Amino acid sequence: MLIVWTIHAEERQQQWQERLGITKEEVEALLTNPQQIVVENQVFVAQSRRGKGLLRVPFVIIGNTKRILTLYWTNQINRYWQEENHENQI
């Protein structure tokens, strides 16, 4: 499946690369093989543990593409991680 970056997602990735070294390649690898996918408000969120937190990548599927809406890192693992929903794939 093709990965498409929105302008906002590219800007956020650049900000997180400066702060935590999160690369475009890392984000695309997460979308290809996330530890978990959850659904929030009809948007998919791929997430994987990174360091002492989570890297979260909200996206939508349009045709044969995953369109990245934004991305961010959070240390609030308990807020977002769903134990009963481990390793879901689309």
- What pLDDT is recorded for position 85? 54
Residue 2: inside a domain, yes or no? yes
How many domains does the structure of the chain reveal? 1
Residue 43: inside a domain, yes or no? no
- What pLDDT is recorded for position 83? 82
Token digits for 21? 């070294």
The helix, strand and coil proportions of the chain, stated in percent and rounded to the nearest 5, come to 35, 40, 30
Nearest to 3 by CA among 80, 84, 64: 64
Domain residues for the domain of 14 are 1-35+50-55+65-80
Residue 88: inside a domain, yes or no? no
Quote the pTM value. 0.90
Q: What is the full per-residue pLDDT of the chain (90 aa) written as tens digits? A: 999 999 999 999 999 999 999 999 999 999 999 999 999 988 999 999 999 999 999 999 999 999 999 999 999 999 999 987 545 555
Residue 85: inside a domain, yes or no? no
Residue 1: inside a domain, yes or no? yes
Residue 21: inside a domain, yes or no? yes
Residue 11: inside a domain, yes or no? yes
Count other Cβ atoms within 10 Å, centred on residue 39. 12
